[in-house]
Amino acid sequence: MAPHKGRGGREHPREYRISRELTFILRHAAEKEGIKIDRQGYANVGELLQYRKLKGLKATLPDVLEAVSTSDKQRFGLLYIPDQPTSPEISAKEDAAAGDESSLSTATTQALASNDPDPNNYLIRARQGHSMKCIDSASLLTPLTLDNPSIPIPETVVHGTYHATWPKILESGGLRCMGRNHIHFASGPSITSILPNGRDGEIVAPSGKGRGQEGVISGMRADAQILIYIDIKRALAAGCPFGISENGVILSEGMSTDGTEDKKVGLEFFDIVVERKNGLGVLWENGELVKESPDWMLTAKAPVGKGGQRQKGGKGQSSAPRLKVEKDTDRIEED
């Protein structure tokens, strides 16, 4: 099989492609592809291996187990349920255990160590990022509340976005799910690491690609150009729901303020917004717009995989001045 060429003609290894296809089918396409998936997002691994793109990659159970164990953002959860039917219907016992975050993490570890060669004895799910409406969101999350000290409220709740989307966020009045079931937030980098000399000081961009900083596993892409910090205690007090996934991603479906189905995490919950790539610094603070969006931002293109197209000579990031774009339809692995 010829190597797969992704963005910019770069060749992706087979292991990456298998992980990417697992992410896509479990988050977005199981129903469309006729793969049975339960309300908690679990699909039977034996059935999943019959998915046309995984078959094309000649994926096996060991490949799936490797994708689970090596995922840098711990995207997948795994259950070992021997002698189960092919349909991923979980018994009442497993259904109860699925609501406990620590039990699920242990279940994944135990499943990886089971040494059973039968793929039909395993269930797998994506831990967050779903767009399929059949998934019961509550089963994926531990709710965050102001009155439960056993589940601490994260000190940092930050959403990463891009130059092209910031003006649209302002215009729409906040953050929306945009096709997914939840808005995604990370627990870092903290405001103090970005602004070590105070909010009026110089922006310090995190070193490297941003993954693994301050214990952060997932929840935001490393190339985020704009960081939106949320006052989560204020949002929770106002009734805006938040939860945390098995792998530490903070999620919210937003809330409606006008009685309609239009839900969002509104601008009123934005603490501070920082642009960290082009030297703009603080854009929003204390409920007010600090800096107007420059003309180049108003016409910026979103990066590849975020509604944008590939930029020649770049990495799909909008910048000033803008670069000529070319079409690239390669689907990339998500956060």
Coil, strand, or helix at residue 175? strand
Does the structure show a pLDDT above 50 at 309? no
Contact 30, 45 (CB under 8 A): no
C-alpha span between 315 and 270 (Å, rounded): 28
Instruction: Please write the tens of the pLDDT for every residue from 271-298.
Output: 999 999 898 999 999 899 999 999 999 9
State whether CATH 3.20.170.30 applies to domain 142-326: yes
Find the largest Cα–Cα distance for the chain. Answer: 61
According to the model, what pLDDT value does residue 42 have?
94
The arrangement of secondary structure in 4-127, i.e. its CATH architecture, is Orthogonal Bundle (1.10)
Sheet holding 243-244, edge to edge: 142-143, 243-244, 250-252, 183-185
Q: Look at residue 321 and tell me whether its pLDDT is greater than 50.
A: no
pLDDT digits (tens, 9 = 90+) for 240-265: 999 998 888 899 999 998 878 889 99
Secondary structure of residue 19 in the 3-state scheme? helix
List, for residues 63-117, the tens digit of each pLDDT value: 999 999 998 888 899 999 987 654 444 443 344 344 455 566 688 889 999 999 9
CA distance 63 to 282: 44
Distance CA 269, CA 231 (A): 5
User: What six digits make up the tokens of 205?
Assistant: 């961009």
d(CA 35, CA 38): 10
All structural domains of the chain with their residue ranges = 4-127, 142-326
Predicted model pTM: 0.69
